[in-house]
């Protein structure tokens, strides 16, 4: 078209209001990530904070996985790069970004798209990842016959077959099932010992506190009752954390729908939701509203707390701890990455510093390396242990020979790398205030 023809097409009566913007990066999703991608100014803070990139040169890092891949994907005919499966979903990059780029939301979305569109659903990798993601289903079967399940899982032949057939590293010890689940225990004792319609909390116990580390859930109940709370234990599914990390977004949504609905009923009756696992509270607070559009999801996000955080906000937890005492003991404390993202990484250290008899040492800000199901994959085992090496070393140099953390899979890795017994902060709090 000549300049003269273009000039003749120009209509001087068209106002700015009638201008139709061109959608350079068309988005089919309801939750548009474009503003987040545009916020990236390539400072690389996220890349330098990524524990996987630090030990694995082939991993392109969070900036590529997030804003760069997002732009490439939208601007050209490009598929999601398979390196997205090497991101462990530790979410440290979220915390590192000074420009609030929603990196983990981008990673979760890209991983979901990759798994849905490009992964062979009959491949060993897909079947193994699906099984690991749906641990709750396995655990609910195993916990029906816990002694038999523990015996079979403890056999050498089982771990050899697990490695060969499913790609689960034989070096890992499968966690034992409790002989009585947390929910069975809670029901047997007749529910909460406290009745108080004005102080109610709904406990999201997650899978591990229900099937494996039942003592954490019991401690949580006893501590909250000591502070006068009626503890409710609503129906619930997995938080979805392992599903996000494996790109199983349909599974995660199925679980989220139940959790939003059931926990929402307790919220409507005036309760807040508390979790003892920092990855569960992270999922309910951040990942749910970032990834799903379910009625009541924002409400759940706003009413969810990590258990000790809730007591710090609503009770004089510090004062109570200061007046309490426990038998002399020293702990090597590791802050899980997902606690860091919620600003809770110093919480246990600062609180227990005031507790007579307890000595607690922070073993540094490194990642444990297991990241839920990540370290449970043969091809990631070495990376997982390389990442964890700094934490193991710091634990061994700490005064205490008992570890402490809020995350059940970090606890597994801490025990795996050092042989230490690992406890949850709620167990020490129970000893201090509820005995
Ligand atoms: S979530 Fe963790 S592993 Fe994944 S890119 Fe971010 S920092 Fe790296
Ligand atoms: S830290 Fe944020 S702004 Fe900096 S490169 Fe990463 S995503 Fe971009």
**Predicted local confidence at residue 38, as pLDDT:** 84
Of residues 160 and 301, more confidently modeled: 301
Residue 392 has pLDDT above 50, yes or no: yes
How does pLDDT run across 197-232, given as a tens digit for each residue?
999 999 999 999 999 999 999 999 999 999 999 999
Residue 26 has pLDDT above 50, yes or no: no
| Mean pLDDT, rounded, for 258-283 | 98
| Mean pLDDT, rounded, for 315-319 | 97
Residue 249 has pLDDT above 90, yes or no: yes
Residue 13 has pLDDT above 70, yes or no: no
Same fold, 27-118 and 324-433: no
**Predicted local confidence at residue 6, as pLDDT:** 46
SS (H, E, C) the chain: CCHHHHHHHCCCCCCHHHCCCCCCCCCCCCCCCHHHHHCCCCCCHHHHHCHHHHHCCCCCCHHHHHHHHHHHHHHCCCCCCHHHHHCCCCCHHHHHCCCCCCHHHHHHHHHHHHHHHHCCCCCHHHHHHHHHHCHHHHHHHHCCCHHHHHHHHHCHHHHHHHHHHHCCCCCCCCCCCCCCCHHHHHHHCCCCCCCCCCCEEEEECHHHHHHCCHHHHHHHHHHHHHCCCEEECCCCCCCCHHHHHCCCHHHHHHHHHHHHHHHHHHHHCCCEEEECCHHHHHHHHHHHHHHCCCCCHHHHHHCEEEHHHHHHHHCCHHHHHHCCEEEEEEEEECCCHHHHHCCCCCHHHHHHCCCEEEEEEECCCCCCCCCCCHHHCHHHHHHHHHHHHHHHHHHHHCCCCEEECCCHHHHHHHHHHHCCEEECHHHHHHHHHCC
Residue 7 has pLDDT above 60, yes or no: no
Q: How many CB atoms lie within 10 A of CB 225?
A: 16
Q: How far is the CA of 87 from the centre of ligand 1 (A)?
A: 5
Candidate of 53, 93, 246, 340 to mutate for ligand 1, largest count of ligand atoms within 8 Å of Cβ: 93
Residue 4 has pLDDT above 80, yes or no: no
| Mean pLDDT, rounded, for 169-186 | 94
**Predicted local confidence at residue 434, as pLDDT:** 87
Residue 241 pLDDT level (bands cut at 50, 70, 90):
very high
Torsion of CA 81, 86, 88, 89, to 10 degrees: 0
- Span of 9-23, 48-62, 125-139, 309-323 with lowest mean pLDDT: 9-23
Helix axis angle, 408-418 to 378-397, nearest 10°: 70
- Hey, where are the domains in the chain? 27-118, 124-166, 182-314, 324-433
| Residue owning the nearest CA to atom 5 of ligand 1 | 62
**Predicted local confidence at residue 27, as pLDDT:** 43
Residue 30 has pLDDT above 60, yes or no: no
Whole-angstrom distance, CA of residue 102 vs CA of residue 123: 31
Of residues 33 and 237, more confidently modeled: 237
How does pLDDT run across 109-118, given as a tens digit for each residue?
999 999 999 9
State which CATH number among 1.10.10, 2.60.40, 3.40.50, 2.30.29 fits the domain covering 324-433. 3.40.50
Does the Cβ of 151 fall within 6 Å of ligand 2? Answer: no
The CATH number of the structural domain formed by 27-118 is 1.10.1060.10
**Predicted local confidence at residue 161, as pLDDT:** 81
| Mean pLDDT, rounded, for 412-427 | 97
Q: How far is the CA of 106 from the centre of ligand 2 (A)?
A: 12
Whole-angstrom distance, CA of residue 210 vs CA of residue 181: 5
| Residue owning the nearest CA to atom 4 of ligand 1 | 87
**Predicted local confidence at residue 235, as pLDDT:** 97
Residue 366 has pLDDT above 80, yes or no: yes
* Mean pLDDT of the chain, nearest integer: 91
| Mean pLDDT, rounded, for 400-418 | 97
| Mean pLDDT, rounded, for 236-246 | 97
| Mean pLDDT, rounded, for 307-315 | 97
**Predicted local confidence at residue 5, as pLDDT:** 47
Candidate of 39, 45, 62 to mutate for ligand 2, largest count of ligand atoms within 8 Å of Cβ: 45
Residue 421 has pLDDT above 90, yes or no: yes
How does pLDDT run across 223-233, given as a tens digit for each residue?
999 999 999 99
Residue 154 pLDDT level (bands cut at 50, 70, 90):
confident
The percent of residues in the chain predicted with pLDDT above 70, rounded, is 92
**Predicted local confidence at residue 75, as pLDDT:** 66
Residue 21 has pLDDT above 80, yes or no: no
Residue 245 pLDDT level (bands cut at 50, 70, 90):
very high
Candidate of 91, 244, 245 to mutate for ligand 1, largest count of ligand atoms within 8 Å of Cβ: 91
Residue 397 has pLDDT above 90, yes or no: yes
Whole-angstrom distance, CA of residue 97 vs CA of residue 239: 25
Residue 263 pLDDT level (bands cut at 50, 70, 90):
very high
SS (H, E, C) 9-28: HCCCCCCHHHCCCCCCCCCC
Whole-angstrom distance, CA of residue 255 vs CA of residue 250: 9
């Amino acid at each position: 078209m000549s300049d003269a023809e273009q000039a003749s097409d120009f209509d001087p009566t068209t106002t700015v209001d009638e201008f139709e913007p061109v959608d350079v990066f068309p988005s089919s999703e309801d939750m548009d990530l474009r503003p987040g991608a545009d916020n990236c100014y390539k400072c690389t803070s996220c890349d330098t904070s990524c524990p996987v990139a630090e030990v694995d040169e082939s991993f392109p890092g969070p900036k590529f996985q997030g804003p760069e891949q997002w732009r490439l994907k939208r601007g050209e005919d490009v598929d999601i790069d398979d390196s997205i499966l090497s991101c462990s979903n530790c979410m440290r990059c979220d915390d590192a970004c000074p420009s609030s780029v929603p990196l983990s939301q981008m990673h979760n979305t890209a991983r979901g798209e990759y798994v849905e569109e490009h992964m062979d659903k009959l491949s060993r990798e897909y079947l193994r990842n699906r099984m690991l993601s749906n641990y709750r289903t396995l655990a609910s079967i195993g916990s029906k016959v816990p002694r038999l399940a523990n015996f079979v899982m403890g056999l050498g032949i089982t771990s050899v077959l697990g490695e060969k057939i499913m790609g689960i590293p034989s070096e890992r010890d499968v966690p034992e099932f409790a002989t009585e689940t947390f929910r069975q225990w809670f029901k047997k004792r007749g529910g909460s010992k406290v009745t108080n319609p004005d102080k109610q909390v709904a406990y999201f116990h997650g899978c591990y506190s229900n099937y494996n580390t039942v003592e954490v859930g019991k401690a949580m109940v006893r501590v909250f009752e000591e502070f006068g709370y009626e503890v409710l234990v609503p129906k619930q599914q997995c938080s979805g954390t392992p599903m996000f990390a494996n790109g199983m977004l349909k599974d995660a949504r199925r679980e989220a729908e139940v959790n939003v609905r059931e926990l929402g009923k307790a919220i409507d009756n005036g309760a807040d939701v508390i979790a003892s696992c920092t990855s569960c509270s992270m999922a309910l607070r951040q990942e749910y509203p970032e990834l799903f559009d379910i009625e009541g999801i924002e409400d759940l996000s706003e009413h969810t707390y990590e258990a000790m955080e809730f007591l710090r906000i609503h009770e004089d937890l510090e004062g109570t701890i200061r007046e309490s005492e426990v038998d002399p003991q020293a702990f090597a404390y590791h802050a899980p990455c997902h606690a860091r993202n919620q600003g809770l990484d110093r919480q246990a250290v600062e609180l227990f510093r005031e507790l007579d008899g307890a000595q607690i040492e922070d073993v540094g800000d490194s990642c444990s390396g297991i990241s839920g199901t990540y370290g449970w994959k043969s091809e990631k085992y070495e990376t997982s242990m390389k990442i964890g090496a700094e934490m193991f070393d710091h634990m061994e140099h700490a005064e205490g020979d008992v570890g402490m953390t809020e995350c059940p899979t970090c606890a597994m890795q801490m025990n795996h790398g050092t042989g230490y017994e690992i406890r949850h902060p709620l167990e020490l709090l129970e000893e201090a205030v509820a005995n």
